[in-house]
Amino acid sequence: MAFEEVALGLVEAYKSIVSAAPVQFQSFISLFFIVVLMVIYSVFAWKLDRLIGTKNIFSLNLNQYNISKHKFLTAVLYFLEYIIILPIIILFTFAVFSIFLILVIQLDLSVILFISAAVVATVRVATYIPKYGEHLAREIAKLLPFTLLAIALLAPGFFDIERILGNVAQIGDFFGLIINYFLFIVILEVLLRFFEFFLDLIGLKNTN
């Protein structure tokens, strides 16, 4: 309900701004909002490869604090870095990407979440492919979001600012549906990590 009220407030504020401007400048106001939204989306899409396009998203290397080299402590640090912190980064990326799609693409919310989860999961799986996997993941992370933006640009009603602002009301439902898709991505990530960890333990891990 709160997001519906926010959406209505944004639409009313936009109407007030447009109505207060001279007629010859009203279309420029809409154009300005579209440009701002596209720039923000483009910056996020460009950075997406750095957020999730590498197998080890960040270089915390918590194992450096394991002075004793105890195997149990090593396992705990590995679990903390890759099973706890990494999913939080993925959740943030998935949520922001999904919200952008909700605003710019006129599709059912479940379809948007499916598309967003498919993009994020595909990028993450690609990072585990030996040798060229991370390079492929970065290219996917850049290509797919911009392709979706191009499709949205050609869709009827994309430049309708009131429609875009009105879509804010869907964000409330989004938080109620995201958990299932997020769990799928996290379970997939955990399986890939444990499979890699197992190969490393038995000495069969491929080297780039």
Tally of domains in the chain? 1
Q: How confident is the model at residue 114 (pLDDT cuts 50, 70, 90)?
A: very high
DSSP 129: S
**Mean pLDDT over residues 22-36, rounded?**
87
Q: Is residue 76 part of a domain?
A: yes
**Mean pLDDT over residues 152-180, rounded?**
84
**Mean pLDDT over residues 16-43, rounded?**
88
Q: Is residue 208 part of a domain?
A: no
| Mean pLDDT of the chain, nearest integer | 81
Q: Is residue 206 part of a domain?
A: no
Q: Which residues lie below 8 Å from residue 22, measured CB to CB, with a gap of 6+? A: none
pLDDT in the model for residue 69? 55
Q: What's this model's pTM, rounded to 2 decimal places? A: 0.79
Task: Determine which helix (DSSP H) or strand (DSSP E) holds 178, and give its type and residue range.
Answer: helix 171-201
pLDDT in the model for residue 166? 86
| CA proximity to 120, closest of 178, 78, 197 | 178
Any idea which of 61-75, 123-137, 156-170, 186-200 has the lowest mean pLDDT? Answer: 61-75
Give the residue numbers spanning the domain of 109.
Answer: 2-201
Q: Between residues 58 and 18, which one has the greater pLDDT?
A: 18
Q: Is residue 95 part of a domain?
A: yes
Task: Determine which helix (DSSP H) or strand (DSSP E) holds 59, and give its type and residue range.
Answer: none
Q: Is residue 125 part of a domain?
A: yes
**Cα–Cα–Cα angle for 115, 118, 121, rounded to 5 degrees:** 150
| CA proximity to 57, closest of 137, 144, 143, 118 | 137
Q: Is residue 173 part of a domain?
A: yes
Q: Is residue 51 part of a domain?
A: yes
pLDDT in the model for residue 26? 83
pLDDT in the model for residue 122? 92
Residue 11 has pLDDT above 70, yes or no: yes
Per residue in 119-155, pLDDT (tens digit) is 999 999 998 888 888 899 999 988 888 998 888 888 8
Q: How confident is the model at residue 39 (pLDDT cuts 50, 70, 90)?
A: very high
